[in-house]
Amino acid sequence: MREIVFDTETTGIMPGDGHRIVEIGAVEMIGRVVTGRTFHTYVDPCRPMPKDAQNVHGLSSAFLTGQPVFEMIIDDFLAFIGDSPLVAHNAAFDMEFLNWELRRANMPTLPASRAIDTLEMSRKINPGAKHTLDALCIRYGIDLSGRTKHGALVDAELLARVYVELTGGRQIGFDLASGPAEAPVAPAERVVFESRPHGASEAELARHAGFISGLKDPLWLQ
């Protein structure tokens, strides 16, 4: 199944307050595997960039002025996503901004039913834990060294790896393959240690027995 993991950066948190999209990044996945096809663009919001928002993603008004406006990039973005499900972290936020921009451009909006929200998935899988993208990357051992600020494409690439973990890791199901089995691919960030090549020595066993004999009222004898 083809899915698109995407992220947006904006001038603020509420499109109804006049805030706009300034960056879109998207990553194609087929069968929960990143294909290497991506979409990325900056967008001129045609309004000043608030300092608080610039501190988050580092995109200034000076940089964004002269970038394509939303109406110039939307056809390419819609062609890239096609009719595939859209995966996002706090998907309601990104979908609201996309649909606000689509309405401004007098174009049909995207139905909420297309969205898969990794924030909601994480809340169900790890109740009580932190659910930011940074926290999820740390939880699943995903390298964050390249993420100094929020960036739409970088965040979409990280989220694609998080999404794989949230949906069961590399082994998604237990269906029997009809063809030759492929060798499993271990995630690069996981270290597999070789099993110990020998048993405990006589000296080690003696030390262990001495340690056990010194315990007072051990639980297994109660």
**Has residue 131 been placed in a domain?**
yes
Query: Is 74 a member of any domain?
Result: yes
Instruction: Tally the C-alpha atoms within 13 A of residue 218's C-alpha that lie toward its C-beta.
Output: 7
Write the DSSP string, 107-151. -PPPPGGGEEEHHHHHHHHSTTS--SHHHHHHHTT---TT-SS--
Residue 179 lies inside a defined structural domain of this protein: no
Q: In the chain, how many domains are there?
A: 1
Instruction: Specify the higher pLDDT residue, 118 or 203.
Output: 118
Residue 64 lies in a domain: yes
Sheet holding 33-42, edge to edge: 33-42, 21-30, 2-10, 86-88, 115-117
Q: How confident is the model at residue 184 (pLDDT cuts 50, 70, 90)?
A: very low
In a domain, 218, yes or no: no
Give the E-state strand segments of the chain in sequence order. 2-10, 21-30, 33-42, 86-88, 115-117
> Does a structural domain hold residue 98?
yes
φ/ψ region of 106 (left if φ > 0, alpha if ψ in -120 to 50, else beta) reads: left
Report the CATH number at residue 83.
Answer: 3.30.420.10
Residue 190 tokens, joined: 């996981």
Catalytic one of 89, 131, 150, 198: 150
* Number of other residues whose CB lies within 10 A of the CB of residue 37: 13
pLDDT at 173 over 70: no
In a domain, 60, yes or no: yes
Domain encompassing residue 87: 2-166
Burial class from Cβ neighbours inside 10 Å (0-12, 13-18, 19+) for residue 126 reads middle
Average pLDDT over residues 76-85: 98
Catalytic (active site) residue 208: no
The tens digit of pLDDT for each residue in 14-50 reads 999 999 999 999 999 999 999 999 999 999 999 999 9
Token pair in block for residue 65? 């002025």
Token pair 């595939």 in the structure block, residue: 84
Residue 214 CB partners (closer than 8 Å, separation 6+): none
The tens digit of pLDDT for each residue in 87-116 reads 999 999 999 999 999 999 999 999 999 999
Tokens read off for 187: 């995630």
Does the residue 35 lie in any domain? yes
Q: How confident is the model at residue 219 (pLDDT cuts 50, 70, 90)?
A: low
